[in-house]
C-alpha cells in the first residue's frame, strides 16, 4: 500500500488563520478489508466553510479535530477494490479530506459517488457540478424561488457558488447582477458567465457608495439575494431590496475570524417584509440528483463555463486555502495531487 501525505489541523487559529495552524505528515496506508476501496485523489477541494470548522465553537458542524486529516471534498479514481460495487479506474467523488489517498468503506451512505467524465471534467464535480453548484441551486430554487423578470444579486459572484448561481438565474429569465473583487473578475462575470452586470466592491469605500452602484445596476430594485459574504456588502444590498424580497444566507466570510458581524439596517427586514433564511446544503440531500442533472447539463452544453484556481501538490494546500479566504482565487479553488 502506498505512503500517504496528509495535512492535519495542528492547532486552532487565534484570529486570522495562518500556515502554522497546519502540519504535513506522512503515514502508511492501511491494507484494505472487505467492502473497502483505495481512492487515489486527483483533486482536493478548498472551501470557505472549512475556516469555521477550524474554530472550537458551536456551529452547524462539529469542529475539525486537532491532529487529524482536515476534512474536505475530493475527486479521484479507484486504484484497488475489495468491493463488487467499484473497480479500479472508476472515477469517484467523496469526502476524502486533505490527503493523497483515502480508504473508504463503500457501504457507508454517501461516502462515494461514481461520476462520468465524458462531458464534464473530473475537477468540476468538486465545483459547479458538486457541492458548490448544488448550494447555489438550493438557495435560488428553494429559498429565493425566482420568477422571470426579477432581479437576482449574488456576492462572491465569480467563485464556485456564485458562478453557478449566475447561470441558474439566467436560465430562469432573471436579470442577474454579481458583486466581485477586481476588474478582471467582473469582466469574466459579464463576458463569460453571462451576468447582466457586475460590481467591483473594491472600487467602493463605504456602504453608501456600493449602494449607489447597486441602484445603477438594479434599476428595478433587488428581488432575490444570495449571500456569501456578510458585512458591508450585505448592508449595501439590504438598502436596495424590494418589498417581499428573499435572501438565501449561505456564508458570512466576513465573520470567519471570530469577530462579530453587525448588521447596519436590520429594520429593513421588517420594513420590506423580507425573508432571510440560512441553510446548509448537506441537510438537503433529496434535491441533489435534480440539481446535479441541471448543473451537469449547463456545464456540458457550455452555458456554464466555470473557472478554477489550481494549486499544485498537497504541500501547497495551506497557502492556497489562506488565499481563498482573502479572495485571491479566481473561480473554484482546488489542489491538484497527480
Q: DSSP states of 245-274 as a string? A: EEEEE---GGGTTS-----S-THHHHHTT-
pLDDT at 97 over 80: yes
Task: Please say whether the beta carbons of 43 and 75 come within 8 A.
Answer: yes
Return mean pLDDT, the chain: 95
Decide: residue 57, CB within 10 A, 0-12 exposed, 13-18 middle, 19+ buried: exposed
Instruction: Kindly indicate the confidence band of residue 47, based on its pLDDT and cuts at 50, 70 and 90.
Output: very high
Topology of the domain covering 3-127+307-336: Quinone Oxidoreductase; Chain A, domain 1 (3.90.180)
Residues 215-234: pLDDT tens digits?
999 999 999 999 988 999 99
For the chain, give every domain's residue range. 3-127+307-336, 131-282
Distance CA(224)–CA(241), nearest Å, equals 8
pLDDT at 327 over 90: no
Distance CA(306)–CA(331), nearest Å, equals 7
259: how many CB neighbours lie within 10 A of its CB?
A: 10
- Of 201, 256, 271, give the one whose Cα is nearest residue 232: 201
Residues 287-324: pLDDT tens digits?
999 999 999 999 999 999 999 999 999 999 999 999 99
Angle between helices 288-300 and 131-138 (to 10 degrees): 110
Average pLDDT over residues 36-53: 95
The sign of the dihedral angle between the CA atoms of 325, 178, 73, 101 is negative
pTM equals 0.92
Highest CATH level, class, for 131-282? alpha beta
Identify the H or E element spanning 89. Answer: none
DSSP state of 144: I
Residues 240-268: pLDDT tens digits?
999 999 999 998 877 777 778 889 999 99
Instruction: Kindly indicate the confidence band of residue 151, based on its pLDDT and cuts at 50, 70 and 90.
Output: very high
Distance CA(77)–CA(90), nearest Å, equals 5
Average pLDDT over residues 38-62: 91
| pLDDT at 110 (0 to 100) | 84
Which residues, 6 or more positions from 6, have their beta carbon under 8 angstroms from its beta carbon?
24, 25, 26, 27, 69, 97, 98, 99, 100, 314
| pLDDT at 253 (0 to 100) | 79
Task: Please say whether the beta carbons of 227 and 234 come within 8 A.
Answer: yes
The sign of the dihedral angle between the CA atoms of 282, 284, 288, 289 is positive
**The three three-digit cell numbers of residue 99, written as one number:** 490527503
Distance CA(12)–CA(323), nearest Å, equals 18
**The three three-digit cell numbers of residue 55, written as one number:** 474554530
Task: Please say whether the beta carbons of 133 and 123 come within 8 A.
Answer: no
Task: Please say whether the beta carbons of 144 and 248 come within 8 A.
Answer: yes
Instruction: Kindly indicate the confidence band of residue 277, based on its pLDDT and cuts at 50, 70 and 90.
Output: very high
Secondary structure (3-state) at 208: helix
HSE, CB side, 13 Å, CA atoms: give it for residue 327.
17
**The three three-digit cell numbers of residue 131, written as one number:** 457541492
Amino acid at each position: 500500500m502506498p505512503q500517504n501525505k496528509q495535512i492535519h489541523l495542528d492547532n486552532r487559529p487565534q484570529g486570522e488563520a495562518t500556515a502554522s495552524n497546519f502540519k504535513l505528515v506522512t503515514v502508511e496506508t492501511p491494507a484494505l478489508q472487505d467492502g473497502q476501496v483505495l481512492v487515489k485523489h486527483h483533486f482536493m477541494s478548498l472551501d470557505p466553510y472549512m475556516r469555521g470548522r477550524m474554530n472550537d465553537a458551536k456551529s452547524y458542524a462539529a469542529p475539525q479535530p486537532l491532529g487529524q486529516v482536515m476534512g474536505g471534498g475530493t475527486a479521484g479514481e479507484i486504484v484497488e477494490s475489495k468491493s463488487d460495487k467499484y473497480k479500479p479506474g472508476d472515477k469517484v467523488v467523496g469526502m476524502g479530506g486533505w490527503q493523497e489517498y483515502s480508504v473508504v468503506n463503500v457501504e457507508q451512505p454517501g461516502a462515494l459517488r461514481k461520476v462520468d467524465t465524458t462531458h464534464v471534467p473530473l475537477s468540476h464535480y468538486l465545483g459547479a457540478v458538486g457541492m458548490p453548484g448544488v448550494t447555489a441551486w438550493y438557495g435560488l430554487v428553494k429559498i429565493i424561488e425566482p420568477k422571470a423578470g426579477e432581479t437576482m444579486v449574488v456576492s462572491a459572484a465569480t467563485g464556485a457558488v456564485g458562478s453557478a448561481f449566475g447561470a441558474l438565474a439566467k436560465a430562469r429569465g432573471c436579470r442577474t447582477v454579481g458583486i466581485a473583487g477586481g476588474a478582471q473578475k467582473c469582466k469574466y462575470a459579464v463576458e463569460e458567465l453571462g451576468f447582466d452586470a457586475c460590481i467591483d466592491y473594491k472600487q467602493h469605500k463605504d456602504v453608501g457608495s456600493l449602494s449607489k452602484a447597486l441602484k445603477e445596476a438594479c434599476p428595478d430594485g433587488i428581488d432575490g439575494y444570495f449571500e456569501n459574504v456578510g458585512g458591508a456588502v450585505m448592508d449595501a444590498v439590504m438598502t436596495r431590496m424590494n418589498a417581499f424580497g428573499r435572501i438565501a444566507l449561505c456564508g458570512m466570510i466576513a465573520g470567519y475570524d471570530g469577530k462579530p458581524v453587525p448588521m447596519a439596517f436590520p429594520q429593513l427586514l421588517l420594513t420590506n417584509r423580507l425573508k432571510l433564511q440560512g441553510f446548509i446544503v448537506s441537510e438537503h440531500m433529496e434535491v441533489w440528483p435534480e440539481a446535479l442533472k441541471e448543473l451537469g447539463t449547463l456545464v456540458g452544453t457550455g452555458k456554464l463555463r466555470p473557472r478554477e484556481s489550481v494549486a499544485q501538490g498537497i504541500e501547497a494546500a495551506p497557502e492556497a486555502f489562506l488565499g481563498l479566504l482573502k479572495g485571491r482565487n479566481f473561480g473554484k479553488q482546488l489542489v491538484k495531487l497527480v
